Chains A and B, each alone.
Chain A
Amino acid sequence: MKVKSALESYLLVLPAVLIFSVFYIVPFFSVLQLGFHEWDGILPTKIFVGLDNFKEIFADKIWWQSFWQSGYITLIALTFQNVLAFLLAWACDREIRMKNFYRVLFFIPPVLSEVVVGLVWQWILNGNYGILNHWLTHFGFTNLARDWLSDPNTALTTVAVVHCWKGFGWGFLLFLAGLQTIPRELYEAARVDGANAWSSFKNVTVPLMVPVVVMVAILTILGTMQVFVLIYTMTGGGPGYHTEVPVLRILASMRGSSRFGYACAQGITFGVILCMISFVQLLVSRKAKN
């Protein structure tokens, strides 16, 4: 009986493990192996260089700058994007008119192609004919008007805001699914007990939403740290290195410089750091629960 039960458990995870081992683990080991080699991606010969690639990464200032920059974007996404998503989800969870209509609207940005997003935002943000500057000047904030994407002071934040705009739909969806599972009776009970809107939010909504918030936070970190398509189409990492992010650096090593070994080492370093961050995050959230 016990053997049969264990077998059944393994049978459930078997397909996932099988596909994962063949299509993820096997390529991963060849990437790992390449991380210790110097290779241009073409020649049949790969030169073993030991830890040289990793040593170079640790001294590579631009790599770390790109890392902090994606960290900055992630911070904005964690706060601004998720707060926005939560507020919208909370508003749409209430009994209001047209909520189905809104629910559809908020999911448009994730569906749109990066090409369209890039073109439209460039049109909004352009220093010369952009609508944003047009309005700013119109309302008398002329000194605020600038070239948002090529001004080193604003480029990174601007990119971050566009990224948040493109991605908040997912947070919205997950928060909404979470809010929908909270039984209405709990709110009723709180109202009967004389709780106002704020205290029922604090005492009913928040505690029940913690697991969803943690999940959305983890997904936000993973998604944002690996962001690159949008940045590539909007600024290409410029001006200078102000909007470089790790995945763009990996692609630059791989395509631009034909340094395949180095690119693989960068990917692994990046993955290891992300693992550590998520691990710490998991520990913290577990402690917070107890």
Chain B
Amino acid sequence: MFKSKVFHSAILVVFISIILSGCASKEELCKTNITVWHWMTDREPAFKELAKRYEAKSGIKVNFDLYAPSDAYSQKVRAAAQGANLPDIFGILGEKRDFASFIKAGFILKLTPYMNEDNAKWKNSLFAKALAVNEFDEGNSYGVDSGIYGVPIDIMTIQMVYNKSLFRQLGLNPNKPPKDFTELLEIGKKISAAKLQGLVSGWGEVWMIDCFANNYAFNIMGKDKVIATIKGEVSYTDPDWIKVLSLFKDMQQSGLFASGLVTMVNKTAEQLFANEKAVFAFNGSWCVNVYKEMNPKLEYGAFLPPQASDKYPMAIWGGAGSSFVVSARSKNKEEAVKFLRWLTERDQQVYLAEATNNLPANKDSLSKIPDILAGFARAMDSATHPRVWGVSEFSPVIEAFDKGIQSIIIGEKTPEQVAAEVQRIKERELAKKR
């Protein structure tokens, strides 16, 4: 009998609390002036601090709401767009095509007029490459009204890092990372002879393979030819593309790749590199912070992926790390833009860079960052990004390309086979579009 009483009262408590909690949630919304949705877990405390400073300065309360992981965040933003519940400020994850869709659907405020105020003061304070990611050119292939639609709050580059003490162990000069691809392969042979592990990276999350392959595509055939391929004017079976794919076979055969690289997630790769279990890593500028926390004594240096050809310069992915946009339907548009402008001012950018070890988007804030991070910042000159190319490759083609490279690494397919397969899918997608 006692048990059933407990049961009954539990039900009662539950229903009362449902009713109460239903009422409570509505009041809180009125106090807030600006709501920001973001996915950047590591920056949450810094954002909270900045929000406090902004409230002290302007009296406007900014609410940073964190929704992590980024997959869930991305779904939330899309769902909110369907229900017309987008916050004042948010970020869009995904490809430029998705960004374009958000703009075309009228969800995002165009920021060009604000950027150009006072002789383009705001615009000029930011890295041009970081802005380019949020920009649509005149006559772009997405059919979006040209202009700037997002504000970069930090930048990033993705390049290679090497472990200096393992270099010494291999009898190499710890201050001389490999300059060209042949040198890299030679080191690969030494690594496998010494039974060490070579390159680690998040190649199980396919986008990092894509990034690496694109670097070499730019190096071997130049930007124009890569973009011509995306437009469908050059075939993936072109000898240059086969050369790009063959690089992976060469690297595999030289023993450069760490075991398990094809299915490795980036966090595992970071663990291994930080604990001196791998000679090379291919990673983004955020790694500085990760390595510092896991192993402060790690001796390492950053370098551009070694050239495989001297016809064209090496390119790496880089540009805006994270960007914010303003909702076009927000009631506080002006206030939201003002806040973003304040956020990208020098002092706030320096604070963000120091607190989170990310590269600031504001050009004047670069002076006060650690040396290795500055190395990543200098690589900005070689940086490019699919989001600034003006055209997007079809996702099934990207997938076939990246997964094809995995197949090459595990020795299942030849570069020629992968190229033919990718081209077949490319033609199928092109036919569908027509």
Q: Which residues of A contact B (CB under 8 A)?
A: 40-44, 122, 126-129, 147, 149-152, 155, 233-236, 238-241, 252, 255-259
Q: List 5 A-B contacts (CB under 8 A).
A: A42-B107, A150-B261, A236-B265, A238-B403, A257-B395
User: How far does the alpha carbon of A152 sit from the alpha carbon of B408 in the complex, in Å?
Assistant: 12
Interface residues on B, range: 35 or more
* Best-buried of A128, A155, A234 by chain B (most CB within 10 Å): A128
B394-406 interface code vs A (CB 8 A; 1 in, 0 out) = 0110010001101
What distance in Å separates the Cβ of B142 from its nearest Cβ neighbour in chain A?
Answer: 12
Known contacts A43-B105, A236-B206: A127-B260 contact under CB 8 Å:
yes
User: Would you call B204 an interface residue if the criterion is a C-beta within 8 Å of the partner chain's C-beta atoms?
Assistant: yes
Instruction: Verify A155–B102 contact, CB threshold 8 A.
Output: no
**Beyond the given A129-B277, A150-B260, could you list 8 further A-B residue pairs with CB under 8 A, ordered by the A residue number?**
A40-B97, A127-B259, A150-B261, A150-B264, A239-B262, A240-B403, A240-B404, A259-B395
What distance in Å separates the Cβ of A148 from its nearest Cβ neighbour in chain B?
Answer: 9
Instruction: Verify A149–B259 contact, CB threshold 8 A.
Output: no
Instruction: Verify A258–B410 contact, CB threshold 8 A.
Output: no
Instruction: Verify B71–A150 contact, CB threshold 8 A.
Output: no
Partner of A255, one of B75, B107, B205, B265: B75
Instruction: Verify B105–A238 contact, CB threshold 8 A.
Output: no
Instruction: Verify A236–B204 contact, CB threshold 8 A.
Output: yes
Instruction: Verify A240–B97 contact, CB threshold 8 A.
Output: no
By a CB distance below 8 angstroms, the chain B residues around A256 are: 395, 399
User: How far does the alpha carbon of A42 sit from the alpha carbon of B107 in the complex, in Å?
Assistant: 10
Instruction: Verify B101–A40 contact, CB threshold 8 A.
Output: yes
What distance in Å separates the Cβ of A234 from its nearest Cβ neighbour in chain B?
Answer: 8
User: How far does the alpha carbon of A256 sit from the alpha carbon of B70 in the complex, in Å?
Assistant: 13
User: How far does the alpha carbon of A128 sit from the alpha carbon of B71 in the complex, in Å?
Assistant: 31
Instruction: Verify B268–A122 contact, CB threshold 8 A.
Output: yes
Instruction: Verify A240–B410 contact, CB threshold 8 A.
Output: yes
User: Would you call B292 an interface residue if the criterion is a C-beta within 8 Å of the partner chain's C-beta atoms?
Assistant: no
Instruction: Verify B403–A241 contact, CB threshold 8 A.
Output: yes
Instruction: Verify A240–B412 contact, CB threshold 8 A.
Output: yes
By a CB distance below 8 angstroms, the chain B residues around A126 are: 259-260
User: How far does the alpha carbon of A259 sit from the alpha carbon of B260 in the complex, in Å?
Assistant: 31
User: How far does the alpha carbon of A252 sit from the alpha carbon of B258 in the complex, in Å?
Assistant: 27
User: Would you call B330 an interface residue if the criterion is a C-beta within 8 Å of the partner chain's C-beta atoms?
Assistant: no
Known contacts A150-B263, A236-B205, A239-B262: A258-B406 contact under CB 8 Å:
no
What distance in Å separates the Cβ of A259 from its nearest Cβ neighbour in chain B?
Answer: 8
Q: Which residue of chain B is the closest to A253 with respect to CB atoms? A: B395
By a CB distance below 8 angstroms, the chain B residues around A43 are: 101, 104-105
Known contacts A235-B204, A236-B204, A236-B205: A42-B260 contact under CB 8 Å:
no
Instruction: Verify A155–B260 contact, CB threshold 8 A.
Output: no
Instruction: Verify A152–B204 contact, CB threshold 8 A.
Output: no
Q: Which residue of chain A is the closest to B209 with respect to CB atoms? A: A238
Instruction: Verify B258–A239 contact, CB threshold 8 A.
Output: no
What distance in Å separates the Cβ of A262 from its nearest Cβ neighbour in chain B?
Answer: 10
What distance in Å separates the Cβ of A151 from its nearest Cβ neighbour in chain B?
Answer: 7
By a CB distance below 8 angstroms, the chain B residues around A252 are: 399
By a CB distance below 8 angstroms, the chain A residues around B157 are: none
What distance in Å separates the Cβ of A144 from its nearest Cβ neighbour in chain B?
Answer: 15
User: How far does the alpha carbon of A235 sit from the alpha carbon of B206 in the complex, in Å?
Assistant: 11
Partner of A149, one of B71, B205, B263: B263
User: How far does the alpha carbon of A68 sit from the alpha carbon of B395 in the complex, in Å?
Assistant: 23
What distance in Å separates the Cβ of A79 from its nearest Cβ neighbour in chain B?
Answer: 25
Q: Which residue of chain B is the closest to A241 with respect to CB atoms? A: B403
Partner of A128, one of B260, B263, B399: B260
Instruction: Verify A238–B406 contact, CB threshold 8 A.
Output: yes
Partner of B410, one of A42, A234, A239: A239
Q: Which residue of chain A is the closest to B99 with respect to CB atoms? A: A42
User: How far does the alpha carbon of A3 sit from the alpha carbon of B409 in the complex, in Å?
Assistant: 71
Residues of chain B in range 175-207 having any CB-CB distance to chain A below 8 Å: 197, 204-206
User: Would you call B139 an interface residue if the criterion is a C-beta within 8 Å of the partner chain's C-beta atoms?
Assistant: no
Known contacts A236-B265, A240-B412, A255-B75: A150-B101 contact under CB 8 Å:
no
Instruction: Verify B78–A240 contact, CB threshold 8 A.
Output: no
